[in-house]
Structure 1
Amino acid sequence: MTDTSDGWRSFLVRWSQEWADAQDGDVPARDEEPLRTRRLGFPPASEERIRELEERLGHRLPPSYRSFLAVSDGWRHAGGFVWVLAGTDGVRWHEDSAGLSEYFPGELDDDPTPEDELLAGMWGRALQLDVESDAVYVLLDPGDVDEAGEWAVYTWASWRAEPPTRYGSFRAFMASMYREFHHLQVSRSERGGSVFANATTRALDASVAAARLDALAGRYEQAAATLAEAVAYGRPRASGLHDQIRRLLGQTYMVSFQGLAADPVYAPEIVPVLVAEQARMRRDGPMGASDLPGSSDTVRAAADEVRRQIGEGTYRYTAEGPFGRAVEEARELARWGDTDAAWHTLRAALPDWRPLSPEHLAPLGLCADPLLGPLITPDRGRELLATPRAGQPGDIPPPTADVDPPGLAWLADERPGTLLTSYRFLLVEGVAPPQLPSRLAATDTGPAALNAPATLWDARTRFRPGESVPPWADTALTAVGRAGPAWSFAFEAAPGGGFDARRLVSPGLAASRGTRTVTVWSEPSRGHRPGVFHLSVAENGEERYGFTARGTTTEHRGPVPEPLRFPPGGPDEHRRHEHRALEALTTEFGVRLPRLALTQGRLHTLRTRPWNRTPGPGEPYLTIGFVQHRP
């Protein structure tokens, strides 16, 4: 639509005819005349009448509203909630008649945004265009003008419980109201047992079909723009397809997949994604009819089972054919922390992925898998969408950069106050992760075995000292995985017990029989308590060398290689020296720790032997407990 008279005329005629064709049965008395004439507009306003309005207002009207009046002096049914829109005789100053400036944007702070400043003055200076509406204000703001001279339009309704909506011009407002008419009419026709169909809807449906092929061929940005337009018009297939693209881009707000979750064909792929998001938002309870509208009892029961699996971390995404085999291979890599390698495996197999049925665009269920879901970062989601799938031709996009930084030094760069502010870990050479329990596991927990994969937070909080283990024992669940081609790791974030060199009995000593181990323990400074960085290298059950840096002093033991030596320094230098020591460890042993798996993924866990020995005679310890008194 253009702002010329011809542009407005063809647009308004199409709107009027589509509205009239959609009416069935009785209509309100006010709609009898527009239905009979098939015209929602009014006779055009003359140039003289428009100039008289401008003289009365003391403003020249913005181009798109001015040219609109020259075609139709007002409008009926602007969208679903504005029944009459003002022509030349109905325009009036709003003058903040409802007192809304007190609430939007509210009291301005010392550095308000330009948008807030415009909104603050809009209520007192705007023209009001709504004549009859469902408590909807339509305001044309002469103080919010673009380079073409267009005035912004603001709409607000109390029942929407949202801030005012801004449109860049009257033309943009009317285009949006036309889309709103379409969107609402789709559901109205369905409720009445009819189909809302016309040349516009047929063209939109054809564009949705083309967008589906674009998406499968990797042209997801073009597809997303087409689908977003169709969604605004309420086309039935568009939201289900568009939400799949949005979810893989990390956009989870208002993603529902428009009925696909209720379809038994798509439910196995879609429901886990909805359940996983519900769990992430900490929403309890089963998914009911409101979450899965139109679904059968069977689908809802399956959703409840998926919820249980996701809550326990046992849900597994599966697929058929070569891509399904790649999924299993990627899962095996991810569960030991090789998340970049896992993503490379999935990425290489994406061209072999096949949809469940025509409404399926991508392996969306990956997002719900507790091991593979963290791999799908927004950048990788874009890479997935840009890769041709389902046999569609297209160019393979360049790979995104790996997520995990190399080596160990990234630990020293984590922000203070996070879960990784303090940590301790063991590196064991020549031992695969599944073999770590025989070397590290606590002896009072039954047969040595790894627990199911868990997040780092679960590993930090699942074990509760004081039940079967004395509080001084300082045992915890550590996350385990691969630390490089020849090494495995056992990592614990935010250890519960503080470092005490006098009582330290590193599990690395016992674990080093027949091999080498590296033990690292880092604690930041807290108040008057200095930071600590401890490192030791053991071989065949004996420490070969190590050091403990505390505050401004460092105690070296054995022949510590020069690159690993920790120089003395103040609190400001402690983190820098820690970074350098971790870099030297990386170079000396060729090791690494996977940041993505540790911070966002799930890894197998292991309850280790105590890191601290039993207090000896004359070595007191303090236990603090809390008792809750109920009234």
Structure 2
Amino acid sequence: MTDTSEDWRSLLTRWSQEWADARAAEVAQGEPAARDEEPLRTRRLGFPAAPEERIRALEERLGTRLPPSYRTFLAVSDGWRHAGGFVWLLAGTDGARWHEDSAGLSEYFPGELDDDSTPQDHLLAGMWGRALQLDVESDALYVLLDPGDVDDAGEWAVYTWAPWHADHPTRYGSFRTFMDAMYREFHHLEVSRAERTGSVFANATTRAQDAAVDTARLDALAGRYEQAAATLAEAVSYGRPRAAGLRDQIRRLLGETYMVYFHGLADDPVYVPEVVPVLLAEHVRTGRDGGLPPQSLPGASDAVRATADGILRQLREGTYRYTAEGPFGRAVEEAREQARWGETDAAWHTLRAALPEWRPLSADHLAPIGLCADPLLGPLITQERGRELLATPRAGQPGNTPPPTADLDPPGLAWAADGDPGRPRDAYRFLLLEGVAPTGLPALIGADGTTALDAPATRREAWRLPADAPDSAPWADLARMAVGRAGPGWSFAFEPRPRGRFDEQRFTSPALAASAVTGARAVTVWSQPATGHRPAVFHLSVARNGEEHYALTTDGTTTTTRGPVPESLLPPPGTLSQEDGLRRAERHVLEALAHHLAVRLPRFALTHSRLHTVLTRPWNRPPGPGEVYLTVRIVPGSPGREMRS
């Protein structure tokens, strides 16, 4: 950033003239404020330049040399009026004075320092007592130059704070940076004023910013989203009407949600189908009750609000579906079908390949932002994929296609042995059924009366669904399992954190009955880490034609087998004597099983997306003569436990 006298003169002249032009309409309707009479007459917000001897006299009075940008400013204008919207008079050589913590603010910002305090906290703690105060007349806004916060060029940081701001002081790297920000604030406030009054605020600066917004739009469509985002951020700081709505689309696809409102688009009937679902999906995700959030549709018509109410209802019921026109719309439908069965990487590949065919709804539409609201496709848009989407040329714009991001799902089954990163390893169990589509699973493994799959649900949502059939026996260990495709010719049913516990004496897998119907292989895996006095256990069994073909069970010290277990599935000798040996053995079995059957489980879909679920038949046999079950079950939504025997 340049900081010569000529550069200051250019900025201050432009600012003064734009301010005077903006006030002209107000003056025509009444008398200007007394403080504004002279700057309106002279079209100058500043004052005559301070001669060098006057600046030196100020430095002698203060006992220090002034920072470069403030010193150069004084040599052009000895003070300033209307620095932004809340400082009416900024100090020149007469008004600058040491603040000396006159308001006692050091007690509150940053508060008490401790070992966790940052260097910035320590700087702020001493700032109030050593800073130079520049605000002379303001709306209770402090403007402080801090000689203790100095950069390599000798510039002092500027801090601003007002009691009505309800936040920590705002820092600017130099006086010039502060004044540039105040110039942009003036523009932003004038745009808001023009919108309220129906007036026009237009000049060379606004026209240049609007031209930059047009360029940024084309850059974004061509995949140059970082360049576009920077241009739009500057235009937003000037308050340009289109800039925020465009920039919010980029921000949301990068995973940002704070203060993302799609300004100017959310209440426009053209864009409602694309951006309103994204706003309302976040409203639903954060668990807010009630109707539309008041800030989302400030100027919407009754028709737009009625449409939004319908979208909100669909989102809460889980029936919302994102749609698009043309080839990209067809890819959306194909990708949704892949995602609903756990093939989330394939679904992303489908969307990515079709991105060049995407077309905007109108001029201010940058990307298929509505994908973020789709219950099945939204989870696919991670931050990395959002960047890939934005970097892919769209709408017929020329550009370079970025390299693809890495797939999210590891191959095979072994990842299940590791659990979720950063969490204790949980129990899990799953079934693999050969020659069956996921839609056929309710008839094969479903509890009595189950005829169809339940709607797709996240893992947390599935945990809240009923885990018992209405007429199930109190001893029955039914499972609420997510289902999907496990590879060519295979389906899976997976339950994290089973409510029941593995007991080989009473265990019976739903896979047995399923294999009797299909005649094909049906695999059961149950992993249970050690808890309390209960040892860890890992079980694998394969059934065919209604009979167990082979099985393997280990508790960490011994391994028992039944039937002709393939040698490749057996844990290597000595594995169980090593530290963490059971997990090593479990990983070995899962890796070998995945290779043997050419199957996989979709980790991302099971942990971050939505899958159909089914309530299975019991995983244990009924009590025999003289046997009694005592069951303790945690009832979802209940603070206590339900005990039945």
Amino acid at match of 2:586: E
Q: Distance in 1 between matches of 2:634 and 2:333?
A: 46
Counterpart in the other structure of 1:613: 621
Structure 1 residue 248 displacement after superposition: 0.7
Q: Distance in 2 between matches of 1:400 and 1:109?
A: 42
Counterpart in the other structure of 1:320: 325
Counterpart in the other structure of 1:573: 581
C-alpha contact 2:352 2:389 (8 A) present in aligned 1: yes
Corresponding residue SS for 1:118: helix
Q: Distance in 2 between matches of 1:187 and 1:53?
A: 38
Counterpart in the other structure of 1:510: 513
Q: Judging changes above 3 Å, is the alpha-carbon distance between structure 1 residues 64 and 112 closer, same or farther for their aligned structure 2 residues?
A: same
Structure 1 residue 97 displacement after superposition: 2.1
Counterpart in the other structure of 1:461: 464
Counterpart in the other structure of 1:2: 2
Corresponding residue SS for 2:101: coil
Counterpart in the other structure of 1:208: 213
Q: Judging changes above 3 Å, is the alpha-carbon distance between structure 1 residues 124 and 555 closer, same or farther for their aligned structure 2 residues?
A: farther
Deviations 1:31-61 (A, max 9, x none): 1111111111111111111112222222211
Q: Judging changes above 3 Å, is the alpha-carbon distance between structure 1 residues 109 and 60 closer, same or farther for their aligned structure 2 residues?
A: same
Deviations 1:397-435 (A, max 9, x none): 111111111111222223478597221110112211111
Amino acid at match of 1:488: S
* Greater mean deviation of Cα atoms: 330-339 or 293-302: 293-302
C-alpha contact 1:534 1:549 (8 A) present in aligned 2: yes
C-alpha contact 1:553 1:569 (8 A) present in aligned 2: no
Counterpart in the other structure of 1:150: 155
Counterpart in the other structure of 1:356: 361
Amino acid at match of 1:525: A
Corresponding residue SS for 2:568: helix
Counterpart in the other structure of 1:126: 131
* Greater mean deviation of Cα atoms: 472-481 or 246-255: 472-481
Amino acid at match of 1:501: E
C-alpha contact 2:223 2:392 (8 A) present in aligned 1: yes
C-alpha contact 1:289 1:295 (8 A) present in aligned 2: no
Deviations 1:590-622 (A, max 9, x none): 111111111111111111111122233233314
Q: TM-score, normalised by structure 1?
A: 0.96
Q: TM-score, normalised by structure 2?
A: 0.94
Counterpart in the other structure of 2:304: 299
Corresponding residue SS for 1:329: helix
Counterpart in the other structure of 1:407: 412
Q: Distance in 2 between matches of 1:612 and 1:417?
A: 32
Corresponding residue SS for 1:258: coil
Corresponding residue SS for 2:379: helix
Structure 1 residue 578 displacement after superposition: 2.4
- Are 1:592 and 2:603 counterparts? no
Corresponding residue SS for 1:436: helix
Instruction: Give the percent of matched residue pairs that are identical in Structure 1 and Structure 2.
Output: 72
Corresponding residue SS for 1:534: strand
Q: Judging changes above 3 Å, is the alpha-carbon distance between structure 1 residues 155 and 577 closer, same or farther for their aligned structure 2 residues?
A: farther
Q: Judging changes above 3 Å, is the alpha-carbon distance between structure 1 residues 477 and 623 closer, same or farther for their aligned structure 2 residues?
A: closer
Corresponding residue SS for 2:71: helix
Q: CA RMSD in A?
A: 2.0
Q: Distance in 2 between matches of 1:341 and 1:420?
A: 28
Q: Distance in 2 between matches of 1:174 and 1:329?
A: 53
Corresponding residue SS for 2:618: coil
Amino acid at match of 2:63: G
Q: Distance in 2 between matches of 1:628 and 1:398?
A: 50
Structure 1 residue 180 displacement after superposition: 0.6
Alignment equivalent of 2:530, drawn from 501, 504, 525? 525
Counterpart in the other structure of 2:643: none
Structure 1 residue 251 displacement after superposition: 1.0
Counterpart in the other structure of 1:495: 498
C-alpha contact 1:216 1:389 (8 A) present in aligned 2: yes
Counterpart in the other structure of 2:479: 476
- Are 1:373 and 2:378 counterparts? yes
Q: Judging changes above 3 Å, is the alpha-carbon distance between structure 1 residues 200 and 608 closer, same or farther for their aligned structure 2 residues?
A: same
Correspondence list, 1:35-74, <5 A: 35-74=40-79
C-alpha contact 2:467 2:478 (8 A) present in aligned 1: no
Amino acid at match of 2:183: Y
C-alpha contact 1:530 1:571 (8 A) present in aligned 2: no
- Are 1:33 and 2:38 counterparts? yes
Structure 1 residue 548 displacement after superposition: 2.0
Q: Judging changes above 3 Å, is the alpha-carbon distance between structure 1 residues 411 and 97 closer, same or farther for their aligned structure 2 residues?
A: farther
Correspondence list, 1:530-545, <5 A: 530-545=535-550
Counterpart in the other structure of 1:237: 242
Structure 1 residue 259 displacement after superposition: 2.4
